[in-house]
Homo-oligomer: A and B are copies of this chain.
Amino acid sequence: MAKFQSLSTAINENLFSGSFVVFEGFTHLIPYAAAHETIRSGITDLTLARMTPDVIYDQMIGMGMVSKLVFSYAGNPGVGLLRRLRDAVENDWPRPLAIEEHSHAAMANSYEAGASNLPLAILRGYQGAGLKGINANIKSIECPFTGETLAAVPALRPDVAVIHAQKADSKGNVLVEGIIGVQKQAALSAKKAIVTVEEIVPELNTHPNACIIPSWAITSISVVPGGAHPSYAQGYYERDNSSYLEWDKISSDRNAFRDWMQKNVLEQGPEVFNERVEHLRD
């Protein structure tokens, strides 16, 4: 059963230096507050995976907390490149970053394989693509019925998955709705699932086939209103596009980056997120 905990307790009890962690969210419902709490926790040497590492991974990489990144698209969505990630890959600053690169289709299937307790996922993928020659974790199997060669990738089985969702009911069952990405698969692929939510409600009262993660498949739930900012939570607040643009400038300079992180992350707590989304609520 999910425990209701403060975000700092949730992060500190479950994430450790050297952990393999995924913070999932496809543009929507990105767990910013949980990522910032992780940065404040002082842990390091993380292996991170995510289909779309964006600003939060740029921040963690820039802070030197990440030793390896598994990903399929590393960009600032709608804006451009990730400058801290670039600095790490191109210049080893502040430390070298090992990367394992896939396609979206392969990563999505890797999460599903993890959630399904399979060791691998198969797909008709990477045909003619260069990643096949670069990434030793892209292998193949031969179909025993047709003889066709298909791509095979290992299942993702992180230690911890962290996601943000709209709401939990009083028992800790969590509703994710709208652009749901691979959040359910990520949560179920991990040994532990940590969820931040906008609010707790008595009953979820939703469609019979809504995307719900039962309480007993979740480790910890923290209420953090605005916890996805500058990403968004459909039904709660809009995406703060200007923050993504601003990030492009902040992240372009190592010192500007560190100053910003000091002031906006290290010296803050999860309670600031509620204020940050005030002007984005309907």
Contacts and interface: CB of A to CB of B under 8 A. Distances in A.
Interface of A: 117-120, 122-124, 137, 139-146, 148, 150, 152, 154, 177-178, 180, 206-211, 234
A120 B145 contact: yes
B208 A177 contact: yes
Contact of A177 (B139, B141, B145, B207): B207
25 contacts: A118-B122, A118-B150, A119-B146, A119-B150, A120-B122, A120-B144, A120-B145, A139-B144, A139-B145, A141-B141, A141-B144, A143-B152, A144-B152, A145-B154, A177-B207, A177-B209, A178-B208, A178-B209, A180-B209, A206-B207, A207-B207, A207-B210, A208-B234, A209-B209, A209-B210
Given A177-B209, A207-B207, A209-B177, A119 B143 contact: yes
A210 B142 CA distance: 35
Contacts of A142: 141
Nearest to A235: B208
A interface secondary structure, majority: loop
This protein's copies in its complex = 2
A150 B122 CA distance: 12
Contacts of A177: 207-209
A140 B145 CA distance: 10
A10 to B, nearest CB: 26
Most chain B beta-carbon contacts within 10 A, residue among A120, A152, A211, A234:
A120
A119 B139 contact: no
Contact of A117 (B124, B139, B141, B210): B124
A211 B141 CA distance: 32
Contact of A209 (B143, B144, B146, B211): B211
Contacts of A143: 119-120, 152
A122 B141 CA distance: 11
Nearest to A147: B119
A154 B146 CA distance: 9
A145 B150 contact: no
Contact of A124 (B118, B145, B207, B211): B118
Contacts of A137: 145
